[in-house]
Structure 1
Amino acid sequence: MARAKESDRSESGKSILAAGTGILAVAAVGFFLIFQFAQSQAEQNLTRWHDRLNLVADSRALEVAKWLNRHIASVEELAADATVQLYANQSTSGDSGFAEGQRGYVFALLSAAAEREGFHEQRAIDQVAANVKRPQRAGLAIIKGDGTPLVATTGMPALRPGEWPADARGSFIALGPRLEDKTPLVLFGARITGEGMTAATAQDIWVVGARPLNEDFLKTLEQPGAASKTGETYLVMPQDGDIIVPLTPLAKGGRIGDPRVDMAAAFAARQPRGFASLTNYADTEVLVTGRELSAPVPWVLVRTINADEAMAEIIERRNSLMITLSLAALFVLAALVMVWRHGVSRRLETAWREQAALSAKNEALSRFLQSVSDNQPTAIAALGDDMTVQFANKHLGNVTGLPVAELNNRRLDTAFPSEIADKLRAALDKAVAGEATSQHLRIQKDGAEQIFQTQLLPLKAEGDKEAAALLVMQDISDLVAAKEQSETLFKQLVSTLTQIIDARDPWSKHHSDRVADVAHTVAREMGWDNDALESVRIAGQLVNLGKIFVPTAILTKQTPLTEEELALVRDSMQKGATLVAGLDFKGPVAAILGQMREHWDGSGEPEGKAGDAIEPGARVLSVANAFVGMVSARAHRTGLGFDKALDILNGDAGTRYERRTVAALQNVLENKGGRERWESYTTVLETDAK
């Protein structure tokens, strides 16, 4: 007996030791997993900082390139000016009398261009006293290759040989001599070429513009809404190794234009779009990325943020996560120990007694759940990862035409045609991977088509029957039919309303349909989705809705309209937008109509919106409406023709119209059969004029 008790105590001790060892092993694994999870979250947070730097760098690089390209384009435009070319030719061909006569005109031309294109510093000049020499910081000039100026605007700094790339093959952007306040001077040059100029002249005469990289330029480096305290964006010119030359002011100070060691900026120059943690010019650890500029300059944009700021947030989150998870793990371990200590010796027998009762309850619960699911208006099934049906209600039997008893433990894809089965298998694979899916399935049943909204949801059910996904199928045939009928009636109503409105003006009888067609075609050329295409098409059909407020006498008048009559016709567009403002369209139809008179440069009506602030549909519709109006004949004039209309639209591109939209229309006309398709627009039928 004593030996038996000793054996029991030994077995008990071994059991306790084994249980304790198991708990410690679980704890060790748990804490290791917690640390790994927290570390992975820290890496994800670092990736988020990379994404933030990329967004700012892309945005600022675009703005800097726009600024540079805008100024070089201005200089190239002057170099291509016929007056400038004639003056340069006469200046070098020996006809000094003629050149001197033209000099005043060319000076006025350059001065106007400098004022318009920003090659001046009006504020700084206005602040200089009359008896003090004005600073020479910005201007435009026509210069020989040796640096001799032929004509220069007030304020144009003098350039000595070697201070500008006179040997460049074409247009250039380059750094000029530094100003007295050490501000970098940027030069924009374009060779003067053209018909009638000698070879020597074509090589030696330039239009050169000079501008300091001052506040106007530095605004392009400022990111709107930037929340970081230590974020910094600056431009550099890479040298050898880790040496760079800063071109813009640095947050920590330092002379602009002086070479210095900056490992972070040098990395950004060597690996644009790369991401690293390195020391910068102030010997501070930073996260850095860089961008090359889409302008003809060897400059690199650098975006950094202090590593302490970025890592502080990451470390704080990681530590907080580790502490929270560790406390939770300790609580679970303590609970396990308490449960094990309290229940291991007393609950085993109770568990056996309760097992039978639990099995009975489970069976009753299963019958209850089957009854509940059978009374749902949708087909429901629990599927294994191989499409085997683990559970199904009677409605799924109605959908497949098979009894529920036959569906259980059967692959569901064998109950449907191959096309439906393929879609179900693809959706199941996503559900097994944790992704919920929803799709419409069209199933032929009793000679009629039924449409089911089918969802496959991730499901983790374990036990005798393991289920990986929950299938829910709802019959929406009546809803789809009603929706299609409603959309058909709506389209018919819009078409009828368009015909009624256009009938009031025989000369623009088909104007609305034509505008809708052109706008829809241009938007599709620009890659819009179906909903956006439908919105701009409907807006095009309703473009003349406001004409119900315009007297028929004005619409059919065969002489040019007065200013008051033109204003009445223009205002009718806004009234049309007001009429449809309360209707429930899928897209922004009312906004498109209301913003048709807005101009890309902000000079339009009614709110003076500009650029991307204008509804995209309004930008397309304004071009389409203008195009159709120009090529179509009216009571007081004939149609202008495609070429003339394109010339006018291109002339107003960038001011009145968006360039991209005009380019898309021109591409359709020139390369996509637009001329043949819309040729009838230029023809006036007798029935239209009556």
Structure 2
Amino acid sequence: MKTRMWRKQWAPAILALGLLMIVGVWSIVNYTANEKSRDLRAWETLLGVVAESRAQSLNQWIDTQYGVVRELAENASLRFYLSQLAAAPDAQTVDSQAAQFGYLRNLLETTAEKNGFSLAGQKTKVQANIASASDSGIVIVDASGKTIVGTSGFHADDALKATLLRAVETGKPALQDLYENTAGEVVLGFAIPVFSVQSNEPGQRPIAAIAGVKRARDELFPLLLRKGTLTSADETLLVRREGDFVAFISPLADGTAPLRKQLSLSAGNQVEVEAMTKPGSFSMNLDYAGREVLTVSRSFRQTPWILVQKIDAVEALKESRDHQRFLMITLTFAILVIAAGLVAAWWHGASVKERSVSEVLRNKSRELADQSALLLSVMDGTPDLIFTVEEERLKFCNKAFGSLVNESPDALRGKTLSSIVGPSAAHRIDTLVVESRKTSQTVSRMLDLDIGCVVSHNYFSAVPIPTAYGSGLVLCLARDMTVEQDAQTKRQALMKQLVGVLTCIVDSHDPFCTEHSMRTALVAGAIARELGLGDSAAEALDMAAKLANVGKIFVPRELLTKREILSPEEQKIMQSHVQHSVAVLNAIEFEGPVINIIAQKSEHLDGSGYPAGLKESDLLLESRILAVANAFVAMVSARAYRAGVPLEQTLDKLLSETGTKYDRHVVAALFHVAENRPEWIKWSAPSANAS
């Protein structure tokens, strides 16, 4: 017994303490992860600044080289001499050609020495009869790829000639990307097309191309070695794509020469592959040497290179990881201290709490008893039936339910509904209870219940109540609506009587239209059923059809019985009956849009109707039905001064005006209905009562 008591007392505390420890450890881990993320973002920003600076330096250097070569290509004298050579290469004298070649060579030599395209100034001069080879220089070739002139010791190889010919073919600058020449030196070239001086028309073909070539180790690669504010472990390198491989085109920190190393693009865990596939991204992964590094990458405007700026992750994040380790230890120790304090405080307060718990429980029991008594008094004080059903048996009921069956509520508990209220009423109630239990939603419906030889109309609601053991408890509420329903029935009967009186008044005022309203209501109702109109809409349509001509009591009788054609002024008076009908009926509260249906009964689909000139999109379906029914009855019904129009002729007339005046679907429904209404043909016979 004591062991059980100990478990009950300590189990919640141990569980809460364990939960506190878990939340605390999770918070520490989450906090340190956020710190690590913040440090990584800081390194991303710093590496990005360095990478942007070095990429900008390389872009500026490339633009400068293109600028030097472009300035030569646009030199007027050079273009003039090359134009002469292209126009008549064999027509010039030897002296003239020698002078031109001498000028071009001097121009190239001067430009090359000034802009670093020649290494002559860095070499020791040798005897004049010994030829020297140069890896850097400037060369001009004609449109066929033949060398015209170049700087001393420089000769264009096949790769450079191919780039020069590409510049001639496209008429655009071309880059001779980094490659290893025949001397084993890594070089790159910048080719610019040269155009004739005679014409600057668009689409002009170049006459030659000029290229400047430099060794990458002289100026390009040193730009990658400038140190910024990073650690000693940072490295900047250039890569490019070669088929399915990433080629390293700059020297590596491990001593690998440029163009000597490649990585497969399928090596997804390499930062160089990520830089090639996602330029501009930041990542932490392994590099070509297998070290974990932080990396950012940048692309270039005029070259297919990717600049990779990286730093050793261990060295870069050393301080961050030390700080995270310190936070982890410190915060974990703090959580342990707090947990120990909570245990001590709980231990001290447990004895105090035990003494107060019994008093609190007693108070709660008294409050619960008072609330239960109050709730029971409220339920017993209402005339509504309140009871609960569980497994088809009554679990609880109020006094009103007991009084209905002349039994006390306590005596009814546990009995089946069938034994209490009879099989018929029990079946109706069980139907709602089962539906509520299956849908887990409140189900409300009007039920007629015959209990104790008393028939009553009840608004019944079944409310499912979830329980811990899931037995399907349902709360049932029933309010007797017999008096209200009787009052509603009386109101509806009074409204029908009022409609009948108004219809008789209209018929007596307009003897030519005797029974017009009732016939219109009959036809409109038949069309509504054919179109599947709802009950409420059909009832509103029936009311509108019977009252549609109420406004005619304000039209002079002599105008209604006039046999001659009405004048325009008389037509306006006749048409005003619609506004009069709306004005008279506005004082009556109808269920549904009765007033709107009457107001639109003389409107047409094309807007030619009256009084508002409404069009198709503005008209209710009920008003379209009333318009067709009203026109049909007016034409087919006989008058004192004429026989009714035959049924088939009337239908043809309505059909001819579909789409303009009348709705095609409504007229089609009238066709189907009229086939089964032979009694309507009798309306065409002259009325004996009309005067």
| TM-score normalised by structure 1 residue count | 0.49
> Which structure has the greater CA radius of gyration?
2
